[in-house]
Structure 1
Amino acid sequence: MVSQALRSIGIVAAGLSFAAGAKPAWAQLEPERLYYGVHRAAPMVCRVPASEADAAPEIRLIDPESGEVLETTTAAAGRVDVAAMFPVLWTAERPKVLLAQLAIDGREVGPPVVLEPMLTPRRVLDGETARLMDAYAQRNADFFAQLLRLPADAREELQRTAVAEPEPPGGRVHSGLRAYSDRLVVLETSAGEMVFSLRPDQAPNTVFAFIGLVEGGFYTNVPFHRIIAEDREGRPFIVQSGDPSGTGAGGAPAFTDFEPSALAHDFGVLSIARRPDDPNSNSSQFFICLGREACAALDGKYVAIGQLISGGDVLQTIAATPVRGPEPEGSTAALERPADPPLILRAYTKPAPPFSMRARPLTIEDVPPVER
């Protein structure tokens, strides 16, 4: 009950930040509110500067994963009903995150609007618990006992996996839309600035919660408390932040349930850290991947939500920070802790560019190596 209440507090706080703010002076499509009930109007404002009053605006419905423009509808400056323009928002058999992008005379302008369907959540369990519950439900005592006899390392590996319950026969209930202007996230660090694009099409609730923390000022003077420049096989691995206490055990007072993001853990990918045995313990801590080879094992186990589009050299500089040697016996200090931790001085969001002008995610080949 407590964790559910904390989750609600986090969602409300995030929602407040989305609803506030001055009206933009540039051309863009802007939601009138954050939530729209299913089979109801979805009023938004099509803002067109007076200098372009004679232009022909249109709204494009885009699949952010494939980049395909699914539909295009003419519009006019002023109030528009996006749900009436695109009935598929309410009629799709399997609703998914889409983008509504304003274009004027064929040129995309302003950030796209994220159109996130509100679907009943799917329960997610760690792999060990899921298998034990399945064995119990089937009254399979032999399999149940076999699971309990697994070696400790095998059980730990099962605990790290996340297993979602199957969708009900009729699909999940679709209650409406959450709609907001797409953002970029900027991490201003003691080593320089990093900019991330977000992927609400992969993990909408986790992205929304992360934006709420960023816009609420959570990541102010927060250290990179864990740096693993290379794993035991010498492969680039991760840097981790998001805990103001710097211990690796702290974070925000709310959790976000696991979402099965298909975004591969590769160089510059931002993913949410969690307890190894609880897939639903995602909070404020996150890590940034330094390479694909070692991080591939994280796919499906952690919720990847963003991609680095600027500041690859900053990421490499943070990864090159010297870390402490072996801790004294009995110490509870976090392993891989830097001797002088780099800091996130502040984090903030800014409007994303039009969809067709979005930056390509950086790859490890784009960034010169930093001597460690």
Structure 2
Amino acid sequence: MNRKLLTLFTSLIILCSSFLQAEEIEIDPYNIFPKVKLETSMGNIIVELDRTKAPITVNNFLTYVVKGEYDNTIFHRVLADFIVQGGGYEPDFTMKKVNKNIINESGSGLKNEMGTIAMAKESKPHTANRQFFFNVKDNANLDPGRRWGYAVFGNITEGLEILEAMAKVETHYSGEMSWADVPVKPIILIKASLLPAD
């Protein structure tokens, strides 16, 4: 086999492999309210996401879900009567890799109300990437006003009682990570799965 033919054959194999890989993680563009099941060490939560109001945020979240990037991570920050946050760390507090930051969709009209899921970010507006949190109460102070807010992109449809139980766990200050409000007994996100469309 000559060199040109070998190069063409190799390129074809790589191209086919990339198509197969893309198909493995394909997200149905017609499912505007996809549901994700979060299997945790405290029970299961199902969230319904809203692509009509927060399409960039939903697609970003689903990319991590379908690639298994949330599997075996922890809810590392629990503040009773405020939020339960996770998605960014392994149980030993190793930071998970992040994709690029996304545009802040906090102006979508979705509010940081009890049982909603939103993206965590740094102080700058467009710094959300993979970490998310659940609102444990109505947190109007996280909505946009004279500043950018935190982008809500869905809500819990099943397992609200699991979130309520998470919010009540004992927490402590982790000197190793310099964090407060870390659960004494780790809350593990065992697996996140995109459910079939209704």
Q: Report the TM range for the smaller structure's normalisation.
A: 0.7 to 0.9
Equivalent residues, number: 172
CA deviation after TM superposition for structure 1 residue 321, in Å: 1.2
Task: Look up the match of 1:283.
Answer: 129
Q: Is the alpha carbon distance of 1:224 and 1:204 closer, same or farther for their aligned partners in structure 2, counting shifts above 3 Å?
A: same
Give secondary structure in 2 for the equivalent of 1:317.
helix
Aligned partner of 2:110 among 263, 276, 280: 263
Q: Is the alpha carbon distance of 1:258 and 1:249 closer, same or farther for their aligned partners in structure 2, counting shifts above 3 Å?
A: farther
Task: Look up the match of 2:168.
Answer: 320
CA deviation after TM superposition for structure 1 residue 185, in Å: 0.7
1:305 and 2:150 correspond: no
1:228, 1:239 within 8 Å by CA — same for their partners in 2? Answer: yes
AA aligned to 2:74 is P
CA deviation after TM superposition for structure 1 residue 244, in Å: 2.3
Q: Distance in 2 between matches of 1:343 and 1:337?
A: 12
Q: Distance in 2 between matches of 1:228 and 1:15?
A: 39
Task: Look up the match of 1:193.
Answer: 44
Q: Distance in 2 between matches of 1:250 and 1:205?
A: 21
Task: Look up the match of 2:5.
Answer: none
Following TM superposition, the consecutive aligned residue runs of length 4 or more in structure 1 with deviations greater than 2 angstroms are 13-16, 244-251
Q: Is the alpha carbon distance of 1:263 and 1:182 closer, same or farther for their aligned partners in structure 2, counting shifts above 3 Å?
A: closer
2:115, 2:136 within 8 Å by CA — same for their partners in 1? Answer: yes
AA aligned to 1:18 is E
AA aligned to 1:255 is N
1:186, 1:193 within 8 Å by CA — same for their partners in 2? Answer: yes
Q: Distance in 2 between matches of 1:336 and 1:202?
A: 31
Greater relative contact order: 1 or 2 (C-alpha under 8 angstroms, separation 6 or more)?
2
AA aligned to 2:35 is L
Write out per-residue CA displacement over residues 230-266 of structure 1, whole angstroms, 9 at most, x where no aligned residue.
Answer: xxxxxx1110001124659755232111122211111
Q: Distance in 2 between matches of 1:340 and 1:304?
A: 28
Task: Look up the match of 1:17.
Answer: 25
Q: Distance in 2 between matches of 1:203 and 1:248?
A: 29
Aligned partner of 1:228 among 64, 79, 89: 79
1:296 and 2:136 correspond: no
Give secondary structure in 1 for the equivalent of 2:108.
coil
AA aligned to 1:314 is I
Mapping 1:54-203, distance limit 5 Å: 113-114=30-31, 182-203=33-54
Q: Percent identity?
A: 28
Task: Look up the match of 1:238.
Answer: 83
TM, length-normalised to structure 2: 0.78
1:267, 1:291 within 8 Å by CA — same for their partners in 2? Answer: yes
TM, length-normalised to structure 1: 0.43
The alignment's C-alpha RMSD in Å is 2.4
Task: Look up the match of 2:12.
Answer: none
CA deviation after TM superposition for structure 1 residue 343, in Å: 0.6
1:248, 1:334 within 8 Å by CA — same for their partners in 2? Answer: no
Unmatched runs of 5 consecutive residues or more in structure 2: 1-20
Give secondary structure in 1 for the equivalent of 2:190.
strand
Task: Look up the match of 1:213.
Answer: 64
Write out per-residue CA displacement over residues 94-153 of structure 1, whole angstroms, 9 at most, x where no aligned residue.
Answer: xxxxxxxxxxxxxxxxxxx24xxxxxxxxxxxxxxxxxxxxxxxxxxxxxxxxxxxxxxx
1:268, 1:312 within 8 Å by CA — same for their partners in 2? Answer: yes
Task: Look up the match of 1:90.
Answer: none
Q: Is the alpha carbon distance of 1:15 and 1:258 closer, same or farther for their aligned partners in structure 2, counting shifts above 3 Å?
A: farther
